[in-house]
Structure 1
Amino acid sequence: MQIHSLSTERLLLRPMQPADAPALFTFWSDPNVSKHMNIEAMTRTKQAEDMISLINDLCAKDQACRWSIVLKDSGETIGSCGFNSFDFDHGRTEIGYELGYPYWGKGYATEAVRAVIGYGFFQLGLNRVEAKVEPENSGSIRVLRKLGFAEEGLLRQYEKSNGQFVDLLIFSLLRDEWTDPSVR
């Protein structure tokens, strides 16, 4: 799949590049950020390079895709956002996103996720976007609610994180529920 860059008021979302590894490593190695990503905090920049390569390989196979989130005014990479998996037969995907800790609480995640959801619905023809979130990840839950996601329920002991089974909340947004006409 060839994904395109997306532009919002303050952000440029562009396909991930190997040059993004040092900036993304900074966030992916921060336990505050990685604790809700279902990955161990990275310890070497090479891990970020490998993750970007894996994501780009999955995108080329239409299995997943991710954008780097860049501030328009400074060119600084502040996180990433994208689709963790696709089920095109059923018109659905799962979204994931993270920002570096210094950028939390500024509306960047909502802005980025809004653009990516619009792309999924209107460029990729998807019908449903899902998000799975640990119940204590209140910031992510606020982002999803702002964007109109419905909480569907609790997935008990759904996956392992740091060797422990954890519960996840599942949220969804359907294309016919999407009310943001600016993202079409």
Structure 2
Amino acid sequence: MLEINLNPFTELQTDRLILRQVRESDAPEILFLRSDDAVMKYLDREKMESLNEARQLIQDALISVKKNEGIMWAICLRGTDFLIGTIGHWRFDKAHHRSEIGYTIRPAFWGQGLMSEAMQAVLDYGFNQLHLHSVEANVNPNNQASIKLLEKHGFVKEAHFKENYYFRGRFLDSAIYSLLKPKR
């Protein structure tokens, strides 16, 4: 069984980004991400309504790291401390050396390759530091931008579940994409 150790928290850097630990002062930006119509369009969950909800999400993320159950980074442009998005590994399946990746970014930063940059750093961390064998993503099949991002990083569609998710009185489809650890 895979042993996950997320402590101490590992900050990641790319050419344009710093991926740092989320903190309580990020609550306004988390609230924005989790309440913005464009960001939430394909997340298929209720929007956040308060800073307290955002603070709770941050506390949950910090506890997940302490318990080695998940890790979420704040995505910040180099030279700033302002959270523009989040990305992380969660739903670790330690028996099968697998995690699920999740991510969000402010619409003002869409189409600039920033999430691709963050994703590469997080995938490298997952495969090289956590020793994952595979990473999966659960995507709304209508979210073409997310699917394009996943495919750019080598993810392959493994499944399309018909009406397996119930949200707001409707059954929705889910697409599962997966990436195996690259062979060296």
Alignment TM-score, normalising by the size of structure 1: 0.91
Equivalent position SS for 2:80:
coil
Which residue number corresponds to residue 47 of structure 1?
53
Structure 2 match to 1:165: 171
Partner of 1:38: 44
Gaps of 5+ in 2: 1-5
Alignment of 1:91-102 (within 5 A): 91-102=97-108
Structure 1 residue 74 and structure 2 residue 80: aligned? yes
Q: Deviations over 1:118-141 (max 9, x none)?
A: 100000010000001001111101
Give 1:38's aligned amino acid: D
Q: Does 1:127 align with 2:133?
A: yes
Measured in 2, the distance between the counterparts of 1:86 and 1:80 equals 18
Conserved 8 A contact 1:80-1:99: yes
Residue correspondences, number = 178
Corresponding residue of 2:3: none
Corresponding residue for 1:27? 33
Shift of 1:159: 2.0
Verify the 8 A CA contact 2:160 2:174 in the aligned structure 1.
yes
Residue 80 of structure 1 aligns with an amino acid whose one-letter code is T
1:174 corresponds to which of 171, 177, 180: 180
1:37 Cα deviation after fit: 2.5
Taking structure 1 as reference, are residues 158 and 53 closer, same or farther at Cα in structure 2, changes over 3 Å only? same
TM-score of the aligned structures, taking structure 2 as reference length: 0.91
Q: Which amino acid aligns with 2:101?
A: I
Please tell me the residue identity of whatever aligns with 2:76. Answer: V
Distance, in Å, in 1 between the alignment partners of 2:121 and 2:76 is 13
Q: Secondary structure at the match of 1:176?
A: coil
Match of 2:15 in 1: 9
Percent identity between matched residues is 37
Match of 1:137 among 134, 143, 161: 143
Q: Is the 8 A contact 1:29 1:42 kept in 2?
A: yes
Counterpart CA distance in 2 for 1:79 and 1:163 is 29
